[in-house]
Amino acid sequence: MNFDLTEEQQMLSDSLRRFVTNEYSFEKRGEIIQSGHGTDPATWSALAEMGLLGFTFPEDYDGLGGNAIDTLVVMENLGRGLVVEPYLATVVLAGGLIRDAGSEAQKADILPGIASGERLLALAHSEPGARYNLSHVQTTARKDGDQFLISGQKTAVLHGSQASQLIVSARTRGNVNEESGLSLFLVDRHANGVTVDDFATHDGHRTAEISFSKVAVSADNLIGTLDNAFPIIEKTVDLGIAALCAEAVGAMEAMNAATLEYIKTRKQFGVPIGKFQALQHRMADMFIHTEQARTMAILAASEADSDDRARRREAISMAKTLVGQAARYVGQEGVQLHGGMGVTDEMFAAHLFKRLTLINLLFGDADHHLAQVSDGLLAKTA
Amino acid sequence: MDLNYTPEQEAFRAEVRQFLDDNLPDDIRERVQKRLRPDKAMTERWQKILFDQGWGASTWPKEFGGTGWDPIQQIIFEEECALAGAPRQLDFGLRMVAPVIMTFGNDAQKQRFLPGILSGEDWWCQGYSEPGAGSDLASLRTSAKLEGDHYVVNGQKTWTTLGQHADWIFCLVRTSTEGKPQQGISFLLIDMNTPGIEVRPIIMLDGEHEINEVYFDNVKVPAENLIGEENQGWTYAKFLLGHERTGLANVGQWKALMKRLKAVAREEQDGQRPLIENTRFRDRLAQLDMELRALELTVLRVLTDKRGPGPQASILKIRGTEIGQQLFEMLMEATGQDAIAHIPDALELDYNGPRSGSIDATPAAGDYFNMRKLSIFGGSNEIQRNIIAQLVLGL
């Protein structure tokens, strides 16, 4: 039992923190978001040079053989600076999925490209009406000779338009909401029949609504085995949730630092407002929530790579619940303590609040994951 | 980073569990698990059993007769004890005054006082709060005047937990009115059998006698019972409170109660179904379960931090007491209207009379009322937030 980072992890954390502080200013971030691309090639290359884009890939595929704890370290620092690059979409989700379920050929083809920063991928899984249910897939992939024809609608595809390839979940058998009968396919984002609507998100990231109309993919673009994709989808989402928990902790720390700075300097009634006990206690509660969230992000990262499904899922849902609740508390209070400035676009706190809010909504909000844990209690006692 | 216990730690856990299986008397286990009235003799018996095993003080270094266990071992020990139904050891001696004596006392004091604490022969209580000095502890007025080779103590202490059983009390007393209030306070050990001491019970809202007022009327205390230097008592008191707060997280006991609460939720009926199938109740149970897991891991994180606990221990006091209070509240709510009956006799082991509802209903509301103390004592949770704001956040 120990909570210490390794020397390498600590060094990595320090250098990424320096990079985010020095090279990724609030102003620069604003320009990147306004650019229309929504991503910044220079930042992405810098992350690639630090080895972060292939961090959790095996060394045979130009990676560093890292694990979810390494992702925790990266995401916390990206969260602290509100970096809007597609690290979650491309490295954690798509990269993690190919690493865990891809064939040798697929891994050799894709992972080095992600690691070098040359290739962006996205995971197209969520569908209208699914809310947070991972088996709610209506998109179909129909066998047609030696290829598949994919038809359906995907929503909330993070960085879908920026990616050159999409990993698409589709039903090859069974009915909507069945866990069996799902398969995963690698689809070219510009293939015939793929229509992409690209949107900015409130927090400066990008999302896409993507429709597939009889999109033809060859059988060697199948990832993993036919009809059995659900476990890998679930595990990939769990990796994503663990990463989001870490990102949220970084953003909460940044919110606390910004708020603390503000209430120490803003004067009313002749004194810094941080002298008022009403504000001090709320700041103390923000700190408590953040520390508790940090503990749970560590728990999530520790279990995210595990193949013990029940244990992993419980840890992930516990973490996402408490981190989601903390993100809401710290976000709202951070804005409140900034007073009128907190609701202006010029304040970093406002942007932290937006990211924290959206993190709660991604891959299951606090209510959803509370229900998972709650139903787990029922199952355990049955 | 690795959140799993090592094989050595798991082996240690097995050893503790085996010891508890073999040595925890059934009547004590029953009394604790049924949440019956605590009993002095029971606490003393259990301390003696641990002492004979060499486990009398899980948090002490070996040189004073402690186990020399590391923080993880201490946590494992506490957790296994709580899960087995062992009574809580008395904190006032073992975790509060003993570290002060070890750190600031002289050799004669260590030799005189530590063995009695370890064996459980001496029962200690705490003399901090006064009627006019609660959260503002430094305003305390109980005075100690040096006259020749002894101090003469006059004043009143209050909220003295289990003082009715005590052989000794460690007191903060005023030895000077010069300078800031904190500067004139000394740390004095007083024999409760000294003439001039009177203990009066304060009955708590659950009808139980747990706390007391202690009056000092020209009480003569040998000067050799002063810990450290005169007027430096505030420093020692702050040191002690840091120790107390870490213990107040109380994770082991809360885990045992959570286990019981889950069982009660299965046993209690909600119409035609077990209570656990009531989604509204179960969601709150799940929320609390998660918060307890977060507390457990946060305690481990703080205690294994090489920089030491420091003011962050205030987090543990706040969260530990909030979670504890919610546990007792849910235990009460789980038993529903069966909890309304107040049957003081039923809190004894030999009770065979009628009761309302299940055995879990008997102590439920009384415990809930009693446990409101958790967020008030040991530095109220508002004081803890002040500490975080001032010492951690620099406000």
- Output the domain CATH number for residue A143: 2.40.110.10
Residue A2 lies in a domain: no
Enumerate the residues of chain A whose CB falls inside 8 A of the CB of residue B390. 280
In a domain, B2, yes or no: no
A64 within some domain: yes
pLDDT at B248: 66
B180-202 average pLDDT score: 97
Q: How many helices (H) and strands (E) does chain A have?
A: 11, 10
Q: Residue B145's beta-bridge partner residues?
A: B152
Q: Give the rounded percent of residues in chain A with a pLDDT score beyond 90.
A: 97
pLDDT at A133: 97
- Residue A179 belongs to a domain: yes
Q: How far apart are CA A203 and CA A33, in angstroms?
A: 9
Which residue, among A362, A232, A372, has the nearest Cα to A310 in the 3D structure? A372
Q: What's the pLDDT at B309?
A: 65
Amino acid B7: pLDDT = 97
Record the tokens describing residue A365, joined without a space: 């909000």
Q: Are residues A132 and A86 in the same domain?
A: no
B150-157 and B209-222 strand pairing: antiparallel
Q: Do residue A170 and residue A271 come from a single domain?
A: no
Which of the listed residues B89, B116, B135 is the one where a domain comes to its end?
B89
Residue type, B10: E
Using CA atoms, how far apart are residues B164 and B199, in angstroms rounded to an integer? 7
Domain shared by A205 and A65, yes or no: no
From A202, A227, A252, give the residue that closes a domain: A227
Domain enclosing residue B201, as ranges: 124-232
Q: Do residues B254 and B388 both lie within one domain?
A: yes
The residue of A249, A288, A369 whose CB has the most chain B CBs within 10 angstroms, and thus the best one to mutate to test that interface, is: A288
Contact flag B286-A274 (C-beta cutoff 8 Å): no
The token pair at B355 is 């009761």
CB atoms B393 and A260 under 8 Å? yes
Whole-angstrom Cα distance, residue A116 to residue A215?
A: 29
Size of interface A-B (CB pairs under 8 A): 124
Q: Are B185 and B274 in the same domain?
A: no
Domain count of chain B? 3
Domain boundary among B232, B267, B287: B232
Going by the DSSP 8-state scheme, the letter that residue A223 receives in this structure is E
Domain membership of residue B301 (yes or no) is: yes
The pLDDT assigned to A382 comes to 54
Q: Do A223 and A235 share a domain, yes or no?
A: no
Q: Are residues B161 and B223 in the same domain?
A: yes
- Which tokens go with B117? 């604490």
Supply the mean pLDDT for chain B.
Answer: 95
Domain membership flag for residue A1: no
- Pair (A204, A285) in one structural domain: no
Cα B272 to Cα A91, A98, B269, B275, B283: the distances in Å are 50, 49, 7, 9, 19
What is the reported pLDDT for B239?
86
Q: Kindly state the average pLDDT of the residues B61-84.
A: 96
Same domain, B77 and B135: no
My answer on whether A277 and A349 are in the same domain is: yes
Least confident stretch, A109-113, B69-73, B254-258 = B69-73
The confidence score (pLDDT) of residue A1 equals: 85
Contact B298 A292 (CB under 8 A): yes
Query: Is B190 in the same domain as B154?
Result: yes
Q: Give the closest of B1, B287, B392 to A302, CB-based.
A: B1
Q: Does A292 touch chain B (CB under 8 A)?
A: yes
Say if B241 falls within a structural domain: no
Cβ–Cβ of A377/B282 closer than 8 Å?
Answer: yes
ipTM: 0.94
Domain that holds residue A178: 123-227
CA distances from B104 to A339, B99, B116, B223, B240 (A): 47, 8, 18, 15, 11
Identify the CA nearest to A73 among candidates A297, A232, A280.
A297
Judge if A324 and A191 occupy the same domain: no
Nearest to A152 by CA among A182, A132, A122, A178: A182
Specify if B112 maps to a domain.
Answer: no
Are residue B46 and residue B153 in the same domain, yes or no? Answer: no
User: What percent of chain B shows pLDDT beyond 90?
Assistant: 91
Suggest the residue from B2, B3, B6 to mutate for an interface test with chain A (most A CBs closer than 10 A). Answer: B3
Same domain, A221 and A240: no
B7, closest residue in chain A (CA to CA): A1
Answer yes or no: do A367 and A242 share one domain: yes
Q: Residue B366 is part of a domain; what is its CATH number?
A: 1.20.140.10
What does residue B355 show for φ and ψ, rounded to 5 degrees?
A: -140, 165
* CATH at A373: 1.20.140.10
Residue with tokens 């020397």: A7
Q: Looking at residue A14, which CATH number applies to its domain?
A: 1.10.540.10
Any idea what the CATH number is for the domain that residue B130 is in?
2.40.110.10
B71 domain-assigned: yes
Is there a single domain that holds both residue B272 and residue B161? no
In a domain, B101, yes or no: no
In the listed set A119, A152, A169, which residue is the last one of a domain according to the structure? Answer: A119
C-alpha–C-alpha distance, residues B32 and B328, integer Å: 15
Whether residue A277 sits in one domain with residue A194: no
Confirm whether B80 is domain-assigned: yes
Distance from the Cα of A267 to chain B's closest Cα (Å) equals 13
In a domain, B197, yes or no: yes
Q: Which residues contact A237 (CB under 8 A, 6 or more apart)?
A: A93, A125, A134, A363
Using CB atoms, pick whichever of B9, B262, B286 lies closest to residue A370. B286
Domain boundary among A209, A227, A245: A227
Q: What is the pLDDT of residues B43-67, one digit of tens each?
A: 999 999 999 999 999 999 999 999 9
Spatial distance between the Cα atoms of B360 and B146, rounded to a whole number of angstroms: 53
**Cross-strand pairs, A209:** A197
Same-domain status, A253 and A376: yes
What pLDDT is stored for residue B245 in this prediction? 59
Mean pLDDT of B335-352: 96
The domain total for chain A is 3
pLDDT at A266: 97
Same domain, B259 and B322: yes
Is residue A291 situated within a structural domain? yes
**What's the pLDDT score for residue B241?**
76
> Are B227 and B263 in the same domain?
no
How are beta strands B209-222 and B168-174 bridged, if at all?
unpaired
Q: Which residues of A touch B319 (CB under 8 A)?
A: 288, 292
Using the predicted structure, report yes or no on whether residue B125 has a pLDDT greater than 80.
Answer: yes
CB contact under 8 A, B283 and A371: yes
Q: How far apart are CA A158 and CA A123, in angstroms?
A: 7
Q: What is the pLDDT of residues B208-254, one digit of tens each?
A: 999 999 999 999 999 999 999 999 999 999 888 766 656 668 999 99
Q: Of the candidates B232, B263, B292, which is a domain's last residue?
A: B232
Residue B80 catalytic? Answer: no
CA distance B78 to B14: 13
Comparing CA positions, the residue from A135, A155, A320, A153 lying closest to residue A234 is A135
Whether residues A299 and A248 share a domain: the answer is: yes
B277–A378 C-beta distance less than 8 A? yes
Residues of chain A with pLDDT under 50: none
Q: Does A220 touch chain B (CB under 8 A)?
A: no
